[in-house]
Chains A and B, each alone.
Chain A
Amino acid sequence: MHSRLLLILAVLTTLSACGLAEELVMPVDDSTPAKKTAYTLIYYIHGDSDYLYHDSTGNPRQADEEILADAKMLAELSNTGEIFIFHQKSKPLIGGLSGMLYHYRFGNREGVYPYKPGAKGDAFLATESALYQNLKVSETSDNHRSFFLFYGHEIPNMAHSGYHATHDNLEVSISSFAEGLRNFLNDDADRFELILLSSCSNGEPEMARAVQPHSRAMIASPQNLHLSYIRPLPFILLEPKPQIPADELAEKLAEVSFRQLSRTIQTTVTISYYQLDQASHYLDELSDKARVHHSRASGRPAADKTDCALILPGFEESQYTAGVRIWYKPSRFGRAAGATHSGWGCTP
């Protein structure tokens, strides 16, 4: 109990700096935990590659370990949620067990499970979704909500070797990711309320089209995102406000990280929020245009994505920005960028 209070204080201090503390009325009685799960958070934290970065004083940081610490802290603070944290590490245990699942319910750690991603030839996220389906509790509240959080490098359009340092055969692509997401859901009608993609350049038409059947909304960066990432702390708002609208929660997530990144990062900072159902009427068309442009531009090295509005022929800003909100700060250095951003990233 004492350690939980300390954790709550730590989160409050952080959120207070971001102007969110006034909205928090933390639950004070955890002696009678809820009988049913109000919400589920599923984290996939990829660490099986190069995730080194340095803070402003030059100290080395491992991005995946930092997010893992955030995720565990939030899981311990939760009184009503069930939390699954999948961490794929770069140093496997004996037998290639590079995955580690931390399972929490109502703030208690239910178990820690080492596993081998892609065991028995499983596709990307298939081992994780099978573990999830085995362990999740069936008693959920009527208004139960599900969220998926991905932390890692850019999920590429086409699978290529080297995404995982230790499991090279496990193909990662937009389509394998979308298929993997589906396996966490109960049926085809079931959808996540929000998915957060804390990776470079996945705020793109093809990703939005691929995940739209499985999620109502998405947060992602349409360009490069620094490894200090989109932090998950605002999910704590699900405790005092279990029915906080997804739009409001998403905006808090984007605002808090945008403010933190803008303070410390000199490169471009872009975070987009996509209400996928509002965008669904143009996703096919926009995605096709991006794909055609990409195939014509093939032959260039793996260039960073840029604003679709700047490079995509026939991009109508008024037509393709419904349901999209962007937080954008151009870089101080490098080639001059636009003063605004459409929210969509395309390969030049």
Chain B
Amino acid sequence: MTKMKMFSVLTFILMLGVSVQTASAQNLNEVLKKHMNETVQLVKAAETADEKRSILNDSYENMLETVRVIEEKASLNEDETAQLALLKSEITDRSNQLNGLDGYEQISDEDLDDYSDYSQQSMEQANNRTITIGLTTALLIIIILLLL
């Protein structure tokens, strides 16, 4: 491994370490809220409807992948398992409406910015969803949300 490559890898691990420390101090919902906020900003900055759709679809897919990881890796109590199932169902529902599946009409091009707001705001309600994730799972989630 060249010195440059080694430096890059070490820097990456260090950055992940910082992110994981943050993630491990929060619950899953908080991590996803930050991710969704970044998604919304990207959607609003995108110039074409195709780009906006693609950003939203990638975001939903990445969040569903994190749910799958948690289902496999995390040790959850009964409440958390129920909340995770609900979260999965809600993200799937958002994705279905965006793409006109499961009885929905597809979201029109001019509504994509508002729809991204809706997706974010539905995650930021005053209901209580606490899904505690361990350090290893948090690391995997950060990688999924950042890199996929």
Contacts and interface: CB of A to CB of B under 8 A. Distances in A.
Interface of A: 49-50, 52-54, 56, 58, 60, 63, 152-154, 156, 160-163, 165, 198-201, 224-227, 229, 265-267, 301-304, 331-334
B86 to A, nearest CB: 4
B33 interface: yes
B64 to A, nearest CB: 16
Query: Chain A at the B interface: mostly helix, strand, loop or mixed?
Result: loop
B127 A201 contact: yes
Contacts of B34: 52, 60
A225 B126 CA distance: 6
Interface stretch (B48-56, B117-125, B135-143): B117-125
Given A154-B128, A165-B27, A200-B128, 15 more contacts: A50-B30, A50-B33, A50-B130, A54-B40, A56-B117, A160-B79, A162-B80, A200-B126, A201-B127, A224-B122, A226-B121, A265-B121, A266-B117, A333-B107, A334-B118
Q: Which 3 interchain pairs have the tightest Cβ spacing?
A: A153-B128, A266-B118, A53-B124
Nearest to A61: B124
A174 B129 CA distance: 18
Interface string B97-134: 10000000001000100110110111011111110100
Nearest to A202: B126
Contacts of B29: 50
B79 A225 contact: no
Contacts of A162: 79-80, 128, 130, 132
B97 A154 contact: no
15 contacts: A52-B30, A54-B33, A54-B37, A54-B40, A60-B37, A63-B126, A153-B126, A156-B128, A165-B130, A200-B128, A267-B118, A301-B89, A302-B82, A302-B83, A332-B111
B77 A161 contact: yes
Contacts, number: 102
Interface in B13-30: 26-27, 29-30
A267 B121 CA distance: 7
B41 interface: yes
Of the listed residues B29, B30, B77, B128, the one surrounded by the most CB atoms of chain A closer than 10 A to its CB is: B128
A303 B86 contact: yes
B126 A267 contact: no
Contacts of A334: 93, 97, 118, 122
A224 B127 contact: yes
Given A161-B77, A301-B85, A301-B89, A53 B33 contact: yes
Contacts of B80: 162
Given A50-B27, A161-B77, A333-B97, A301 B126 contact: no
B86 A152 contact: no
Contacts of B33: 50, 52-54
Contacts of B127: 153-154, 200-201, 224, 304
B51 to A, nearest CB: 18
A226 B37 contact: no
Nearest to B120: A54
Given A162-B79, A266-B114, A229 B120 contact: no
A332 B97 CA distance: 12
Contacts of A332: 111, 114, 118
A266 B107 CA distance: 14
A225 B115 CA distance: 18
A301 B86 contact: yes
Nearest to A299: B82
Nearest to B85: A301
In this complex, which of A52, A162, A333 has the most chain B Cβ atoms within 10 angstroms of its Cβ? A333
B130 A333 contact: no
Nearest to B27: A50
Interface in B28-80: 29-30, 33-34, 37, 40-41, 77, 79-80
Contacts of B85: 301
A227 B125 contact: yes
A227 B126 contact: yes
Nearest to A229: B126
A266 B118 CA distance: 5
